[in-house]
Structure 1
C-alpha cells in the first residue's frame, strides 16, 4: 500500500529553501545548495547516491503545492520525475496539463489530491514536494512519513519546513551520512 512521504532537504537550522524565492531562483538565495548531495560527489557520495536511487525507485506519484508547481515547472521540464503523475494542491482547479517529460499534472483540493495520488501510485509511494503542502498534509493527518536530508549549512533565513506545527515522529531505521545526513521518520497518528 502506498504511503504519503515528504522527501526534503533542509539546512541544519531548519530551512527547506533560502530567502527571496522567485522564478529565477526557485529555491531562494543559496537554496539550490541544499540539493548538492544528490549528485553523489561529496564526502561518502556513494551513500548519497544510494539514497537518491532508493527514492527514485519508490516514487509512484507526487503531490506538490501550487507555488512549488509554478516555480518548478520550467526547471523540471515537466513533472518532477519523468512520466510520473503529479497532483497539484490548489483552490484554482484547471484541466490536466501534460508535461514535456511525459508526466501529467492534475489539479485538485488537498484530500482529493492525496486520495488520487495514492491510487495512481499503486504499490509505490506518493512523494510530497513543498513546505506549505507538507504542513497542510500533516495537519490533515494525511502525511505518513518524513524523509529528511540534513545538509551541513546554516541558511539563517528562508522557508521553515514545519514552522508552527507539532507532531510526534517515530524513527524508522538508522541515520546514514554522506554529504548530508539522511533520516526517516513515521508520523505518529496518535492524538496528543
Structure 2
C-alpha cells in the first residue's frame, strides 16, 4: 500500500531552503547547496547516488505545496519526476495542467490531494514537496514517514522544517552515511 513520505534535504540547523526564496532563487540564497549530495561527488558519494536512485524508483505520485509548484514549474520543465502525477495542494482549484514531461498537475485541497495521490501511486510512495504542505499533512495525520538527508551545513536562516509542529518519530533503520547522513522515520499516529 502507498505511503505519504516527506523526503527532504535539510541543513544541520533545520532549514530546507535558504532565506529569500523567490522565482530567481527557488531554493533561497544558498539553498541549492542542500541538494549537492545528489551528484555523488562528495566523500562516499556512491552511497548518496544509491539513495537517490532508491528515492526515484519509489515515487508513484507527488503532493506539492502551491508555492513550491509555482517556484518549481520552470526549473522542473514539467512535473518533478517525468510522467509522475503531481497533486498541488491549494484552495484555488483549477483544471489539470499537463506537464511538458508526461506528468500532470492536479489541483485540490489537502486531504483530497493526499487521497488521490495515494490512489495514483499504486504500490509506490507519494512524495511530499514543500515544508508548508509537509507541516499541514503532519498536522492532519496524513504523513506516514519522514526521510531526511541531513546536510553538514549551517544555513543560519531560511525555511524551517516542521516549525512548531510536534510528533513522535520511530527510526526505520540505521542511518546511512555518504557525503550526507540519510535518516528514515515512521510517524507515530496519535492514539496508535
- Shorter chain as denominator, the TM-score bin is over 0.9
Partner of 1:49: 49
Deviation of 1:109 (Å): 0.2
2:37 is matched with 37
RMSD, aligned CA: 0.8
- Tell me, yes or no, if structure 1 residue 19 matches structure 2 residue 19: yes
Alignment of 1:63-74 (within 5 A): 63-74=63-74
How many Å separate the matches in 2 of 1:50 and 1:190?
A: 33
| Paired position in structure 2 for 1:144 | 144
Q: Which residue of 2 aligns with 1:96?
A: 96
Does the residue aligned with 1:6 lie in a helix, a strand or coil? strand
Q: Distance in 1 between matches of 2:149 and 2:143?
A: 17
Q: Helix, strand or coil for the counterpart of 1:36?
A: helix
Instruction: State the secondary structure of the residue aligned to 1:26.
Output: coil
Q: How far apart, CA to CA, are the structure 1 residues paired with 2:83 and 2:17?
A: 26
Q: Using the alignment, how far apart are the partners of 2:49 and 2:70 within structure 1?
A: 28
The whole-number CA distance in structure 1 between the counterparts of 2:33 and 2:145 is 24
- Where in structure 1 are there 5+ consecutive unaligned residues? none
Q: Distance in 1 between matches of 2:3 and 2:168?
A: 17
TM-score w.r.t. structure 1 length? 0.99
Distance 1:156 1:191 in 2: 36
Matches within 5 A, 1:91-130: 91-130=91-130
Secondary structure of the residue aligned to 1:94 is: coil
Q: Give how far 1:179 is off.
A: 1.0
**Distance across 2 between alignment mates of 1:60 and 1:173:** 23
Report the count of equivalent residues. Answer: 192
Which consecutive segments of 4 or more residues in structure 1 shift more than 6 A?
A: none
The residue matched to 2:53 in structure 1 has which SS? Answer: helix
Corresponding residue of 1:135: 135
Query: Is structure 2 residue 28 aligned with structure 1 residue 28?
Result: yes
Any stretches of 5+ residues in structure 2 without a counterpart?
A: none
